Amino acid sequence: MMKAAIYCRLSEEDRNKQSETEESGSIQNQKAMLLQYTMEQGWELYNIYSDDDYTGSDRRRPAFNRLLQDAEQRKFDIILCKTQSRFTRELELVEKYIHGLFPLWGIRFISIVDNADTANKGNKKSRQINGLVNEWYLEDMSENIRSVLTNKRVNGLHIGAFALYGYQKDPDQKGHLIIDKEAAAVVHEVFTLFAQGYGKTAIARMLNDRGIPNPTEYKRLHGLRYQQPKSKSSTLWKYSAISNMLVNEIYIGNMVQGKYGSVSYKTKQNKPRPKSEWIIVRNTHEPIIERALWDKVQALIAQRAKPFDVGTIGLFAKKARCAYCGCVMRSSKSHDKHYLKCATRHMSKDACIGSFISSQKLERIVIDELNRLSAKYLDRAELEQRVRFCNTLQDQKSHLLSDIAIYQKKIAAYSKGIRDLYMDKVKGLISENDYIEMSKDFTAERTRLERMAFDAEKQLSGIHEKMVSGDHRREWIEQYTNLEHLNREIVETLIDYISVGKRIPGTKDVPIEIHWNF
């Protein structure tokens, strides 16, 4: 008996639909329809995979990924969906799985409503067109959403999921902020203390010593929406929180949005935008900080800004971590000597016992350990097997080769589609206008794929060069032996991170744990 796996998906857009006769209905309706179909065909049900509140472009769907893993392990024979778009709206995944990997794994894909069935070779073009239409749908929807959000930002409406500390979302006016008096008092105190000459670390310590919860903890305690923190010391005020607060124009009544933008409509990843692209609308809500105090604080920040050489970075910046709380250590300077210390330790007396070491001493420890490893392993013939250089290059090469094969297959499919369209026009099956419109879309998509294939070929060439240079690993490692001093390039190349403890009482020893990149 054939085993069938059912896949269902419901997205937020489906929840907003008024009628269950529309495209998706509910998860229950999908399951009922697919279960009935399974029984009618006499198949054995293997499992039901269901993703609730996920879009068709989200590749991180948990049930979707379990389905793919089980398919690769040949745990069932058939994947059954209501429509092809329930499985994915991305043409790339249609080609990769439905037309690529599923046949190799012996998996048959069926979607009931749009009659997609990989056992029927005659409707492959139909499945490709469905995939193309779904891809356009994603792109158009993304563009429409972006346009709506941009329009709201330009009109000064707050569209964020979380209100800035010191404010709340107005329950009576969507997109408007109102002052949260309790939090606003803390914000005003921070600005006042800085204007009186207190430093950012000192202000953070004062708030922590008084037990005032930081913005995240405050929102959690008051039942407000907040973003889950990653740090272990999430309840503490820190230097960065004070620093960001002092330059945020929202506190003087200006709405500042659009600091980050999405990389692509196919991913939820965001990247920072330059300040010139931020959307700033003035006087959209009641200010917490009066203009005179704001101007004084900005002047003090400008005065305290330390000059630095463009492009310079600390030797162990972002590499040294406190062994006790895991926070990145901050650099400081005293009597012309540089030190690394736990930032959390100075925000609250009970937060962390605090790691501390001089940069010079840490550099010496790293050099001694690197030279020790070099002396121990460099003269061994199997060095190349012991040191794992370029350990991901082969994986990258395999992925690129797979992508190129998919692109080439899709290019060939679009070329064939254009030829078939021409024959349909010649036979009078479609009009001249329909042929022009459809072939234009097919040609544009084929051109895009050819460009992607070209870019992938270039990346493949670069990886090949790196792999060739990797054959000279012995020569490469020799330049890092018998060192007297480190530079940032060496630290970045060889070290993942360094865990630093506190000096052992009665000795000069500081516990150090170096995590190498090899």
The predicted-structure confidence for 427-485, as pLDDT tens digits, reads as follows 777 787 777 877 887 888 888 888 888 888 888 887 777 666 554 555 555 566 667 78
pLDDT value, residue 28: 83
pLDDT tens digits for range 55-106: 777 788 899 999 999 999 999 999 999 888 888 888 788 888 888 899 899 9
Q: Classify residue 148: in a domain, yes or no.
A: no
CA distance 294 to 478: 55
Cβ atoms within 10 Å of 61's Cβ, excluding its own: 22
Q: Classify residue 294: in a domain, yes or no.
A: yes
Q: What is the DSSP letter of 66?
A: H
82 and 230 both lie in a single domain = no
State both tokens at 279: 């959307």
List the single range of 217-226, 343-352, 374-383, 434-443 with lowest mean pLDDT: 374-383
Percent of the chain exceeding pLDDT 90 equals 23
DSSP SS3 for 516? strand
CA distance 102 to 96: 8
What is the distance between the terminal CA atoms of the chain, rounded to a whole angstrom? 50
469 and 429 both lie in a single domain = yes
293 and 184 both lie in a single domain = yes
Q: What is the mean pLDDT of residues 289-298?
A: 94
pLDDT value, residue 59: 81
Percent of the chain exceeding pLDDT 70 equals 78
> What CATH code is carried by the domain that includes residue 201?
3.90.1750.20
Which positions ≥6 away from 429 have C-beta within 8 Å? none
CA distance 223 to 20: 34
**Nearest CA-CA partner of 265 in 83, 132, 137:** 137
Is a pLDDT exceeding 90 seen at residue 130?
A: no
122 and 221 both lie in a single domain = no
Q: Classify residue 414: in a domain, yes or no.
A: yes
415 and 445 both lie in a single domain = yes
Helices (H), 42-171: 62-72, 84-87, 91-93, 102-105, 124-154
Boundary of a domain, candidates 278, 304, 330: 304
Helices (H), 378-512: 383-386, 393-426, 432-470, 473-478, 488-494
pLDDT value, residue 133: 64
Q: Classify residue 385: in a domain, yes or no.
A: no
CA distance 322 to 342: 6
Number of domains in the chain: 4
pLDDT value, residue 19: 46
485 and 351 both lie in a single domain = yes
**Domain range for residue 343?**
320-378+481-516
CA distance 152 to 160: 11
Boundary of a domain, candidates 104, 134, 164: 134
**Nearest CA-CA partner of 154 in 243, 281, 259:** 281
114 close to 83: Cβ distance less than 8 angstroms: yes
357 and 465 both lie in a single domain = no
Q: Classify residue 147: in a domain, yes or no.
A: no
Is a pLDDT exceeding 90 seen at residue 250?
A: yes
474 and 487 both lie in a single domain = no
Cβ atoms within 10 Å of 326's Cβ, excluding its own: 16
Q: Classify residue 438: in a domain, yes or no.
A: yes
486 and 511 both lie in a single domain = yes
pLDDT tens digits for range 363-384: 999 988 888 877 776 654 444 4
**Nearest CA-CA partner of 79 in 37, 110, 48, 49:** 110
Which positions ≥6 away from 439 have C-beta within 8 Å? 418, 421, 422
Is a pLDDT exceeding 70 seen at residue 385?
A: no
Q: Which helix (H) or strand (E) holds 208?
A: helix 200-209
pLDDT value, residue 22: 43
pLDDT value, residue 377: 64
Q: Which amino acid is at 333?
A: K
| Strand-pair partners of 126 | none
pTM score of the predicted model: 0.45
- Selection from 117-126, 174-183, 402-411 with the highest mean pLDDT: 174-183
Report residue 119's pLDDT band, with 50, 70 and 90 as the boundaries: confident
| Strand-pair partners of 261 | 271
Average pLDDT of the residues of the chain: 79
DSSP SS3 for 4? strand
Q: Classify residue 311: in a domain, yes or no.
A: no
Boundary of a domain, candidates 275, 304, 333: 304
31 close to 10: Cβ distance less than 8 angstroms: no
Query: Is the four-CA dihedral 464, 468, 470, 475 of positive or negative sign?
Result: negative
CA distance 345 to 327: 10
**Nearest CA-CA partner of 113 in 176, 52, 24:** 24
More confident residue, 263 or 514: 514
100 and 163 both lie in a single domain = no
Report residue 137's pLDDT band, with 50, 70 and 90 as the boundaries: low
Q: Classify residue 111: in a domain, yes or no.
A: yes
- Estimate the crossing angle of helix 291-304 against helix 181-195, to 10 degrees: 50
More confident residue, 351 or 224: 224
CA distance 130 to 90: 10
| Residues belonging to the chain | 518
pLDDT value, residue 18: 42
Backbone angles phi, psi at 16, to 5 degrees: -85, -5
pLDDT tens digits for range 20-61: 444 445 788 888 889 999 998 999 999 999 988 787 777 888
170 and 96 both lie in a single domain = no
Range list of β-strands (E), 351-430: 356-358
> What CATH code is carried by the domain that includes residue 62?
3.40.50.1390
Residue 448 CA from chain centroid, whole number: 25
20 and 160 both lie in a single domain = no
Radius of gyration for the chain, computed over Cα atoms and rounded to the nearest angstrom: 30
